[in-house]
Structure formats: C-alpha cells, structure tokens
Structure 1
Amino acid sequence: MEINVLNIKGQETGRKVTLNESIFGIEPNDHVIYLDVKRYLADQRQGTAKAKERSEHAGSTRKLGRQKGGGGARHGDINSPLLRGGGRVFGPRPRDYRFKLNKKVTLLARKSALSYKAKENAIIIVEDFNFEAPKTKDFLSIAKNLNVEGKKLLMVLPESNKNVYLSARNLQRSEVILAASLNTYKVLNADVMVITENSLKTIDSVLNK
C-alpha cells in the first residue's frame, strides 16, 4: 500500500512510501486486540482501594444484645457488618491488577490495530519536522493543514522532541507518542494517525523482530 508523503503545510512532496504489508496489511485478530487493550487498561489501575473489615475497626467488643429473642439477625459487637458504621464484608484490598501477555500476542495486537487504521485510510505520512520553540498555535496549524482539525489525533515521532510534545500537551484531542512506544489502545483510540517518515522505519524495526 503506497501513501503520498505530505509536508506540514498539507502539500504533497512528490514522494511516496510503501507501508509494510506484514504490519499494516494483515488480517486483524480481534481477540488479541481485546487482550492487549485489557492489559493496558489494567496497568493504569492504581489498585489502592481499601475498606476496613470487622477485625480492623476500633470499637468495643461488648456483645450488644442477647443471642436469641431479639426479633432479628444475630450480631455481636458494634463492629458487626449488620450495623451502620460496622466493618465491611469482603471489602476491597490493595492489589496489583497488572497481568502479562506473550510478546508475540502483543506484537500481533499492535499489527492488527495498525492494519485497521490502514484499512480505514486513517494514516497520514508527513515528512520529518521540528519546532523552534513550543507553540500550540503551530501544532494546530499542522492539524488544520492536514484536515484533521477536531479529530482525535495521534502524532507519531521517531524520537523524543520536547518542542512538539509541549505544543500538543494542552490539546485534549491530540497526543504525541514515540514510534517505539506505540501501543494498541492509543492506536485504536485515535481517529487519525499522523506518522513521520522516520517513524515508519522505527515501527518496522520494532514490530518485525
């Protein structure tokens, strides 16, 4: 699949790049996409929820009423889960929600996500660029020139670029990511991907291990 290379003004440069069929042209596997997105979202969870159980409450252990004849359920001290302010039964405890996936599964999921974007014609290739200083106005100008203004935009760069990153940081629907850090969730969550030429080389080297 060939795509025209554009400059940041949205004009064709006269060059074309060929997207790697083993990455952008495979038959997507929905199940591995589900697993990788689930893993990513699980990694974002803090897992710090905690509720006190009966044994952790500070309160008297005196039995409040007799065992039988009270006309209701039996309960002991004031920390009973039956009473307001008592301990919680099987309450949440701090835990780690992360889980691992095999590398081959992760790679297949990322290739599947990129293949979906290629099928949807939601990939734009631009020549490499840089900003002299962080300026949100310049980033918005690029989005407007590429006709992606107002869409969820994922900008893929080959290496860290502080000026470009800071220019997009305040924009809710735009995100800048490194090609080596590309993940399934970010790809699928974007409406359109803007990939620089050198980023394609990095994506090929990372996903074709």
Structure 2
Amino acid sequence: MKVAVLDINGKDTGRKVELSKDVFAIEPNNHAVYLDVKQYLANQRQGTHKAKERAEITGSTRKIKKQKGTGTARAGSIKSGVFKGGGRMFGPRPRNYGFKLNKSLKRLARKSALSMKANEKAITVLEDINFETPKTKEFKAVLKALNLEGKKSLFVLGASNNNVYLSSRNLQGHEVVNNSELSTYRIVNANQVVLFESSLEGIETNLSK
C-alpha cells in the first residue's frame, strides 16, 4: 500500500512510501479495539469516589422507637440510610477500575485501528519537520495546509521533538506523540492520523512483533 509523502505546505513531494500490509491492511478486529479503548478509559478513572456509610456518620445510636406497636417499620438507629442525614446505603467506595490485557491483543487492536483509518483514507504521511523555537502559529500553519482545522488530528513523531510538541500543546483537538506512545484510543479518537516519515519504521517494528 503506497502513500504519497506531503511537505509542510501540504503539497506532494513526488515521493511515496510503502505502508506495511501487516500493520495497515489487516482485517480489523472490532472486539480487540473495543477492549483496548475500554482499558484506556478505565485507566483514566481516579476511583477516589467515597460516600459515608452508617458506621461513619456522627449521631446517636439509641433505638429511636420501640420495636413493635407503632404500625411502621422497625428502626434501630437514626444513622440508618432510610432517614434524612443517615449514611448512604451501598454507596461508592474507592476502587481501581483498571484491568489487564495481553500484549498480543493490544498490538492487534492498534493494527486494527490503523487499518480502519487506512481504509477510510484518514492517514497522511508528512515529511519530517522541525521548528527553530516552539511556536503555535507555525503549527497552525501546518494544520491549515493539511486542511485539518476544526478536525481532531493525531501527529506521530519518529523521535522526540520538543519544539513540535510544545507548538501543538495549546491547540485543542490536536495531539503530538512519539511512535512508542501510540495507543488505540488516540488513533480511533482522531479524524486524521498524520504520520511523520521517520515514524513509520518504529510503528511497523513495534507492531510486527
């Protein structure tokens, strides 16, 4: 699968790169994508929610009315959850929402997500760029040249490039990551995936194992 390489102005450089069929042209496994995205979102949850139960409420523990003869339900403590100001019944407790997935499944999920984007013509290959200093204005010019304004985009670097990363940080909906930080959620969440030319080798190496 050959894709044209674009320059910083969004124009064809005349060169083409071959995208690996084992990474960008497999039969997508939707369930693997679902599980990997579910795990990513679960790991974002802090799990610090907590409500006070009846044992943690300050209040009298005396029996508030006699057991029988009132015509109403029996009640032993004002701290019961059925009374105003009482403890929460079956309230949330701190917990870890994370769960484990096998590495092979996670690789399959990322390859499936990339293959989906390739089928949708939502992958762009851009020649490597660098900014002398971090400037949001320069990154916005790249977005405009690639017609990505108003769209969610994911830029994948071949190696760490602090100037490009910092130039994009203030722009909502646009993310810059290294090829080692590529995740299924980030791929699926983007309208367009922009792969820098130097990132292809790392992506294919990481996902072809």
Please state which band the TM-score falls in when normalised by the shorter chain: over 0.9
Match of 1:4, SS? strand
1:79 corresponds in structure 2 to: 79
Q: Aligned partners of 2:72 and 2:135: how far apart in 1?
A: 68
Residue 79 of structure 1 aligns to a residue whose secondary structure is coil
Work out the CA distance in 1 between the residues paired with 2:58 and 2:111. Answer: 54
Q: Does 1:157 align with 2:185?
A: no
Deviation, structure 1 residue 73: 2.1
The alignment status of 1:94 with 2:94, answered yes or no, reads: yes
What aligned pairs does 1:39-118 form with structure 2 within 5 A after superposition? 39-118=39-118
**Cα displacement (A) at 1:54:** 1.0
- Structure 2 counterparts to residues 1-209 of structure 1, below 5 A: 1-209=1-209
**Percent of paired sites with the same residue:** 59
- Runs of 4+ aligned structure 1 residues displaced above 3 Å come to none
Instruction: Output the aligned Cα RMSD.
Output: 0.9
* Cα contact 1:125–1:196 (8 A) shared by 2: yes
Tell me the distance in 1 between the aligned counterparts of 2:69 and 2:137. Answer: 76
Distance 1:196 1:163 in 2: 15
SS of structure 2 residue aligned to 1:76: coil
Unaligned ranges ≥5, structure 2? none
CA-CA distance at 1:193 after TM superposition: 0.7
**1:75 alignment partner, SS class:** coil
Partner Cα separation in structure 1 for residue 108 and residue 199 of structure 2: 19
Q: What amino acid sits opposite 1:100 in the alignment?
A: K
Any conservation in 2 of the 1:152–1:190 contact (CA below 8 Å)? yes
* Distance in 1, Cα, partners of 2:189 & 2:181: 15
Aligned-pair CA distance for 1:166: 1.3
Q: Which piece of structure 1 moves more, 26-35 or 162-171?
A: 162-171
Query: What's the TM-score, normalizing by structure 1?
Result: 0.97
TM-score normalised by the chain length of structure 2 = 0.97
Distance 1:22 1:70 in 2: 75
Structure 1 unaligned blocks of 5 or more: none
Q: CA deviation at 1:184?
A: 0.5
